[in-house]
């Protein structure tokens, strides 16, 4: 019996040596995790939107043609936010607009603006009451533009739609360049 108790005492002593001192040690892996600062933003370049444009392009792309000869729901693109964006409360989208030249797609009227609807409606949901936010930005010139959110909605998505409702928008191409998620949740 003495032989076995000596062996058990040796095993117990070695177990304490290998187990270390717990949380008070400087090499604790938990401490390293706490010391790593969380990123202050998440940027997604060339995000893939799902939808369709007025000239037949559709699917998972980031370039859509919004043709003023088409009705508003025919030109829509939706982006569902990735789970990595769950820690943020705001987003900003950078996109490039280019007016139609009048020959490649849709009519171009220089007197008309490039008009959008930005909301959080699902791509296939046509009910205008199903949004948390909805804005109507308008742009005069070609080039890079941006849209900044007030807050990320519970829907965790954004939809761009051509605002051709009253016929006062020209045809244009929209290229979604990036989405930046920022302002971490507390």
Residue 112: what are its φ and ψ, rounded to 5°? -100, 150
Question: Per residue in 100-119, pLDDT tens?
Answer: 766 656 667 777 889 998 98
Position 77 scores a pLDDT of 86
**What digits encode the pLDDT tens for the residues 173-184?**
889 999 999 999
CB 91 within 8 A of CB 153: no
* Pairwise CA distance, residues 177 & 174, whole Å: 9
For the domain spanning 39-184, the CATH number is 2.60.120
* Ranges of each domain in the chain: 39-184
Taking the model in full, what pTM does it have? 0.73
What's the confidence (pLDDT) of residue 66? Answer: 81
Does position 3 have pLDDT exceeding 80, yes or no?
Answer: no
């Amino acid at each position: 019996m003495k032989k076995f108790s000596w062996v058990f005492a040796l095993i117990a002593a070695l177990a304490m040596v290998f187990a270390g001192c717990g949380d008070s040690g400087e090499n604790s892996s938990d401490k390293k995790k706490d010391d790593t600062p969380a990123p202050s933003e998440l940027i997604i370049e060339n995000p893939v939107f799902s939808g369709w444009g007025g000239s037949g392009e559709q699917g998972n792309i980031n370039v859509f043609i919004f043709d003023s000869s088409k009705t508003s729901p025919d030109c829509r693109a939706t982006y569902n936010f990735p789970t990595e964006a769950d820690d943020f409360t705001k987003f900003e989208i950078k996109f490039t607009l280019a007016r139609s030249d009048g020959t490649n797609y849709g009519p171009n009227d220089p007197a008309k603006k490039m008009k959008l609807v930005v909301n959080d409606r699902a791509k296939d949901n046509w009910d205008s009451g199903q949004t948390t936010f909805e804005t109507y930005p308008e742009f005069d010139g070609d080039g890079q533009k941006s849209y900044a959110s007030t807050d990320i909605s519970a829907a965790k998505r954004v939809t761009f739609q051509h605002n051709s409702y009253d016929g006062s928008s020209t045809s244009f191409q929209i290229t979604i360049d990036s989405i930046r998620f920022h302002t971490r949740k507390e």
